[in-house]
A and B are shown apart, each in its own frame.
Chain A
Amino acid sequence: MKKRVIQFIGFLILRGCLYFVMAVLFLFLYDIIHKGGGAISLEFLTQAPRRGMTQGGIFPAIIGTFLVTMVTAICAIPLGMFAAIYLNEYARQSRITRVIRLSIRNLSGVPSIVYGLFGVILFVNILKFGTSILSAGLTLGLLTLPWTITASEEALKTVPNSYREGSLALGATKWQAIRTNVLPYAIPGMLTGAILGLARAAGETAPIMFTGAAFYLPFLPKSLTDQFMALPYHLYILATQHHEISLVRPLAYGTALVLIVFVLGMNMIATIIRYRLRKKKRG
């Protein structure tokens, strides 16, 4: 009897842990949607900030985040794919691949601000891209590299070996086999994984603070070497750096909501695509 009471209480506590985590998440989402929803309007989404950012919208920040995410995608997706092709198709289990995998796992644990410092040294100073969309995008590209590599490798692993063997048996070279019989089946999975990585990059602040994000710009960036406004950095500014905190709080909530929709929207798209792919494969 005592045993069953203990078990009941124990499982109750475990369930409490779960409810607690769910409650925190819903509290977060509720607060932002409830208070941010009021700030969202057409003006908020399509206008630049006005009057020292106490009025107007966040249009330049939306565009800036979009552009920098594009640069990140162009940098990180191909590199991640190529690395994954090497690891999964060409490399054999050896000391080199073990070191590569160890590096990938460690890269994913490097703090984002350290990537920011690295970006300042390499892209801003050595390569002289200055503080720009390009520097920030490349920095974020490196940050997402471990994710894109891992995701691409997962996608390659789902392609059955018989596809490769069939192609090789017909006399194709290794590359021909990969190009015609492996990549077409792996690319959708690679892209969904990459989108998940990009969603994370789009929400990052620390790496872009010193590599290109600007406090306030009245105009949109015209080239890759311009500075830009970004949603996460804009939220940081509104929440902590502004003189009239209470006046801009609704705008901060609105920015947080747009940022969350942007990031979780990308997450959701990737999840839905992945779900569909799995379903297709099954039946």
Chain B
Amino acid sequence: MIWLREGRGAESSNLAFRMTEAIRSKEGEEARPVGKSGFKAIRDKKKARPLRRRLKESAIHSFFFINGILAVIVLIGIFGFLLASAIPTFKEVPLKQFFISTKWDPTSPVKPEYGILSMIASTIIVTIGALVIAIPIGLGVAAYLSDVAHWRVREIVKPIVEILAGIPSVVVGFLGIVLFGPAIAKIFHLSNGLNAINGSVLLAIMALPTIISISEDSLNAVPQAHSEASLALGASRWQTLVRVKIPAALSGIIASFMLGMGRAIGETMTVLMATGNARSFPHGLLSSIRTMTANIAIELGEVPYYTTHYYALFAIGLVLFLMTFAVNMAADLILHRYQEREQ
């Protein structure tokens, strides 16, 4: 490395050094410890530039850095602001009662009640319903696309699935009212079809694109050698799919289920429009329910600012945020570990 310091030669080799350094960091490898001489050479080179130019460069660097950490700031900001707006609730409502009471009647003139258990139960029921529908179908489509379908079929189907993902949730909710509602009412002999099962069907449809694309990616990521070995041992393609590929891709598949679940928990407009929004504790898939998201959407527009009711809605928002955060983090951990093992 000594030759780095010599005369004009140092200039060019210096650049070569920086270039390889740049390439190395691009490739995502750990930056190798640089010898003292290398560091010094870079410093000398930088000093050779005019001060103004160096200042400008570092200003630009800091500018981009601030933008880079914006995502972190926003995430912390959302949590912080929700927390700050939720805390005043608990001056009047005991924390325990907030979570275990099923009565939500904040506008009662006699005794306002703030219990969100019915809403949490509603959210869970409608989400589980959605997953029961979406998981087998989503996994089926993913397996078909990755294992059975001709590549031309795949080229056509993938954009179509993206279209499904692009339909706005309010339109899905609208179709829940006009298409699925009457159908469900007829099948189960109900007066109207706005209930948990309607919401589950719609949420399943909305979770499908996520489940399909991530499951398919992880099925495709299973090394070819696995399935070839299985086929060579005399297994059929179906056996290979069920006993080799799906188990091998399981962590990615489970992560896709969890991401779909996160989407279902946080979805607002479809459940608001299609599930009837009754405040009582849910008695099953055919009862009208009101999820946490729907309750915020219904009441935030009418509530007077800075009352306990107002703060309580933000407390529900905080619970919702924490639930989806936990689900997404778990999915992320699974996916991440999976990717690391692949490498």
Residues of A at the B interface (CB closer than 8 Å) are 3-4, 6-7, 10-11, 13-18, 20-22, 24-25, 27-28, 31-32, 79, 82-83, 85-87, 89-93, 96-97, 99-100, 102-107, 109-118, 120-122, 125, 142, 145-146, 149, 161, 164-165, 168-169, 171, 173-175, 199-200, 202-206, 209-210, 232-233, 235-236, 239-240, 249, 252-253, 256, 259-260, 263-264, 267, 271
28 contacts between A and B (CB under 8 A): A10-B238, A10-B241, A15-B144, A18-B144, A20-B137, A28-B171, A86-B64, A86-B65, A90-B68, A92-B25, A106-B328, A110-B266, A111-B267, A111-B320, A112-B268, A113-B268, A117-B296, A146-B71, A161-B23, A165-B19, A168-B18, A174-B61, A203-B169, A209-B301, A236-B273, A239-B273, A263-B168, A264-B163
Extra contacts besides A14-B148, A264-B167 (7): CB < 8 Å:
A7-B237, A14-B147, A18-B149, A99-B72, A112-B266, A113-B266, A206-B169
In the assembled complex, the CB of A178 is this many whole angstroms from the nearest CB of chain B, namely: 9
Interface membership of B174, Cβ < 8 A: yes
Q: Which of B73-81, B88-96, B107-115, B124-132 contacts A (4 or more CB under 8 A)?
A: B73-81
The reply to whether A256 and B174 form a contact with Cβ atoms under 8 Å apart is yes
Do A271 and B159 contact each other (CB < 8 Å), given the known contacts A28-B175, A118-B82, A260-B171? Answer: yes
Interface membership of B317, Cβ < 8 A: yes
Do A21 and B159 contact each other (CB < 8 Å), given the known contacts A120-B300, A206-B269, A235-B174? Answer: no
Q: How far, in whole Å, are A16 and B141 apart by their CA atoms in the complex?
A: 8
Q: How far, in whole Å, are A14 and B149 apart by their CA atoms in the complex?
A: 10
Interface membership of B190, Cβ < 8 A: no
Of B61, B169, B305, which one neighbours A205 at CB under 8 angstroms? B169
The reply to whether A90 and B65 form a contact with Cβ atoms under 8 Å apart is yes
The reply to whether B171 and A111 form a contact with Cβ atoms under 8 Å apart is no
Size of interface on B: residues with Cβ below 8 Å to A: 101
Residues of B at the A interface (CB closer than 8 Å) are 15, 18-19, 22-23, 25-26, 28-31, 49, 53, 56-57, 60-61, 63-65, 67-72, 74-75, 77-78, 81-82, 84-85, 136-138, 140-141, 143-145, 147-149, 157, 159-164, 166-175, 177-179, 205, 208, 212, 236-239, 241-242, 259, 262-263, 265-269, 272-273, 293, 296-297, 300-301, 305, 313-314, 317, 320-321, 324-325, 327-329, 332
In the assembled complex, the CB of A81 is this many whole angstroms from the nearest CB of chain B, namely: 8
The reply to whether B174 and A252 form a contact with Cβ atoms under 8 Å apart is yes
Q: Which residue of A lies closest to B147 (CB)?
A: A14
The reply to whether B170 and A235 form a contact with Cβ atoms under 8 Å apart is yes
Task: Please name all residues of chain A whose beta carbon is closer than 8 Å to the beta carbon of B162 when the two chains form the complex.
Answer: 267
The reply to whether A111 and B293 form a contact with Cβ atoms under 8 Å apart is yes
Q: Which residue of A lies closest to B75 (CB)?
A: A103
Of B49, B145, B147, B236, which one neighbours A3 at CB under 8 angstroms? B236
Do A86 and B171 contact each other (CB < 8 Å), given the known contacts A109-B266, A111-B266? Answer: no
Task: Please name all residues of chain B whose beta carbon is closer than 8 Å to the beta carbon of A260 when the two chains form the complex.
Answer: 167-168, 171
The reply to whether B136 and A17 form a contact with Cβ atoms under 8 Å apart is yes
Task: Please name all residues of chain A whose beta carbon is closer than 8 Å to the beta carbon of B160 when the two chains form the complex.
Answer: 22, 25
Q: How far, in whole Å, are A211 and B106 apart by their CA atoms in the complex?
A: 23
Do A15 and B64 contact each other (CB < 8 Å), given the known contacts A112-B266, A205-B169, A259-B171? Answer: no
Task: Please name all residues of chain A whose beta carbon is closer than 8 Å to the beta carbon of B175 when the two chains form the complex.
Answer: 28, 31-32
Of A10, A105, A249, which one neighbours B328 at CB under 8 angstroms? A105
Do A114 and B317 contact each other (CB < 8 Å), given the known contacts A105-B332, A168-B19, A239-B174? Answer: yes
Q: How far, in whole Å, are A268 and B109 apart by their CA atoms in the complex?
A: 53
Task: Please name all residues of chain A whose beta carbon is closer than 8 Å to the beta carbon of B70 when the two chains form the complex.
Answer: 79, 83, 145
Task: Please name all residues of chain A whose beta carbon is closer than 8 Å to the beta carbon of B272 when the two chains form the complex.
Answer: 236, 240
In the assembled complex, the CB of A272 is this many whole angstroms from the nearest CB of chain B, namely: 11
The reply to whether A175 and B141 form a contact with Cβ atoms under 8 Å apart is no
The reply to whether B15 and A168 form a contact with Cβ atoms under 8 Å apart is yes
Of A21, A105, A107, A249, which one neighbours B137 at CB under 8 angstroms? A21
Of A7, A89, A103, which one neighbours B71 at CB under 8 angstroms? A103
Of A14, A83, A114, A240, which one neighbours B320 at CB under 8 angstroms? A114
The reply to whether A32 and B171 form a contact with Cβ atoms under 8 Å apart is yes
Q: Which residue of A lies closest to B64 (CB)?
A: A86
The reply to whether A107 and B144 form a contact with Cβ atoms under 8 Å apart is no
What are the 5 closest A-B residue pairs judged by CB atoms, nearest first?
A111-B266, A203-B168, A17-B140, A86-B68, A82-B67
Q: How far, in whole Å, are A245 and B173 apart by their CA atoms in the complex?
A: 15
In the assembled complex, the CB of B164 is this many whole angstroms from the nearest CB of chain A, namely: 5
The reply to whether A118 and B205 form a contact with Cβ atoms under 8 Å apart is no
Task: Please name all residues of chain B whose beta carbon is closer than 8 Å to the beta carbon of A114 when the two chains form the complex.
Answer: 78, 82, 266, 317, 320-321, 324
Do A111 and B265 contact each other (CB < 8 Å), given the known contacts A106-B325, A260-B171, A264-B163? Answer: yes
Q: Which residue of B lies closest to A200 (CB)?
A: B166
In the assembled complex, the CB of B315 is this many whole angstroms from the nearest CB of chain A, namely: 10
Q: Which residue of B lies closest to A157 (CB)?
A: B26
The reply to whether B268 and A100 form a contact with Cβ atoms under 8 Å apart is no
The reply to whether B141 and A14 form a contact with Cβ atoms under 8 Å apart is yes
Task: Please name all residues of chain B whose beta carbon is closer than 8 Å to the beta carbon of A107 when the two chains form the complex.
Answer: 71, 74-75
Q: How far, in whole Å, are A239 and B270 apart by their CA atoms in the complex?
A: 12
Do A87 and B68 contact each other (CB < 8 Å), given the known contacts A93-B28, A117-B296? Answer: yes
Q: Which residue of A lies closest to B240 (CB)?
A: A7
The reply to whether B157 and A111 form a contact with Cβ atoms under 8 Å apart is no
Of A89, A99, A121, A239, which one neighbours B177 at CB under 8 angstroms? A239
Task: Please name all residues of chain B whose beta carbon is closer than 8 Å to the beta carbon of A115 when the two chains form the complex.
Answer: 78
The reply to whether B57 and A103 form a contact with Cβ atoms under 8 Å apart is no
